[in-house]
Structure 1
Amino acid sequence: MTGLEDNYAKAYGQKAGFGKKPALVLIDFVQGYFDPECDLYAGVDDTLASALRVREAAHAAELPVILTNVVYHPKAIDGGRFFEKAKPLRYFLAGNPMGAWPEGLEPTENELIISKQYPSAFFGTSLASTLTALGVDHVILTGLTTSGCVRASCVDSMSHGFITTVVREAVGDRHEDPHEANLFDMNAKYADVVSEAEIIAYLQSL
């Protein structure tokens, strides 16, 4: 272990652990990230496959499962500065096929869909109050992208008082460097980053 790694381990080695009543959130798994012709394409088929396995375990444990997407008014009047800054968000105007669910992720009648306009699944949505009303104390995050909406949701989840877990194989990004850097930072300060195998074993134990 290097001096820097030792410093981080000493300062940020605390584990958040798991809660008593978790919920699973799948962040922004939409078609644009899987279509090579789209600006958003990220090559994250393995990420989705992992998230679907975690989702199956969450359903088997009868836990709340929430899917998020980004949807804007056809004239983007609700897009704000985020829409102005990030050009690919044009694919999330209402009705654009790039904002549809990808193959394999058809929502079920027992899943809640939260549509948002900003990076965090919590900002400007009913997610926090819904989870609180359900008695949830622990949020498990999967989704896209690690450095964007996953990270923003992770920080807000912790800030709203939820134990937070990020599933390493079930989050993805367009580039390995921001992906790994943000996993490192989230694990240091805001959440536990755990493997798919570890989170499925936990869900099966409930």
Structure 2
Amino acid sequence: MSDQDLSQNYKDAFGKRIGFGKRPALIMIDFVEAYFDPSCALYAGVEETLVSALRLQAAARAANVPVIYTNVVYNKTALNGGRFYQKSRTLHNFLEGSPMGAWPKGLVPSEDELVISKQYASAFFGTSLASTLTSLGIDTLIHTGVSTSGCIRATCVDCNSYGFIPIIVRQAVGDRHPAPHEANLFDMDAKYGDVVSETETITYLQNLGLNP
């Protein structure tokens, strides 16, 4: 099947859009030093991804939209890592206290913003994220972060399953290689949420008119 035939096949089967909801939150998934330090095996060359996400962070703050951050943290013996830790060769970089788990230069959560530490790929699994979004009346979760094929995809699928609208900002999510990045964007857009541009998302945030 050609690329054109594949696109039409998916458009015929999955070509609906959900659209932005009325009350969003922005999530910045696993933007930590490991993905920005060339000496780390997790280095992904996603510097421009963070730049895009920071523009969205600024737009969200200006619109009084909640900004939520995630990181991955294991206790010093990785007792809470389970099969995910067992499968990976790299998650030791997120043992408690590792410098690879620190925020990268330019990313500073404010004191009134939520940081969720997780142990698995999805920001929803084993965390309070769904309850928090529900209590805030959030209907839309704007996804940024790394990596597209891992924690972004897992969060997107769970976001859909919990009844929130997954919005994935193309320029603000990244992966270590364009092939899994593009394949997972294609699949998420087809089946779970809407993949949109940074410009479209910022325009949406600017037009919300939310009050403090």
- 2:166 corresponding residue in structure 1: 164
Instruction: Please tell me whether residue 190 in structure 1 is matched to residue 192 in structure 2.
Output: yes
Q: Which aligned runs of 4 or more in structure 1 are off by greater than 3 angstroms? A: none
Report how far residue 6 of structure 1 moved. 1.2
Report how far residue 3 of structure 1 moved. 2.4
Instruction: Please tell me whether residue 75 in structure 1 is matched to residue 85 in structure 2.
Output: no
**CA displacement, residues 59-114 of structure 1 (integer Å, 9 cap, x when unaligned):** 00001110000000011000000001111100000000000000000111121000
- 1:95 corresponding residue in structure 2: 97
Report how far residue 21 of structure 1 moved. 0.4
- 1:128 corresponding residue in structure 2: 130
Structure 1: 5+ residue stretches without partners: none
The structure 2 residue matched to 1:23, chosen from 5, 25, 28, is: 25
1:22-61 aligned within 5 A? 22-61=24-63
**CA displacement, residues 123-172 of structure 1 (integer Å, 9 cap, x when unaligned):** 00000000000000111000000000000000000000001100000000
CA distance in 1, matches of 2:7, 2:53: 29
Report how far residue 4 of structure 1 moved. 2.2
CA distance in 1, matches of 2:9, 2:133: 35
TM-score, normalising length: structure 1: 0.99
Report how far residue 5 of structure 1 moved. 1.6
Q: What SS does the aligned partner of 1:43 have?
A: coil
The structure 2 residue matched to 1:176, chosen from 160, 175, 178, is: 178
CA distance in 2, matches of 1:13, 1:166: 16
The alignment of Structure 1 onto Structure 2 pairs a total of residues equal to 206
CA distance in 2, matches of 1:77, 1:105: 29
- One-letter code aligned to 1:117: Q
- One-letter code aligned to 1:121: A
The structure 2 residue matched to 1:108, chosen from 98, 107, 110, is: 110
- One-letter code aligned to 1:175: H
**CA displacement, residues 5-49 of structure 1 (integer Å, 9 cap, x when unaligned):** 211111111001010100000000000100000000000000000
- One-letter code aligned to 2:200: E
Q: What SS does the aligned partner of 1:91 have?
A: helix
CA distance in 1, matches of 2:161, 2:118: 18
The structure 1 residue matched to 2:203, chosen from 181, 201, 204, is: 201
TM-score, normalising length: structure 2: 0.96
CA distance in 1, matches of 2:21, 2:177: 31
- 1:63 corresponding residue in structure 2: 65
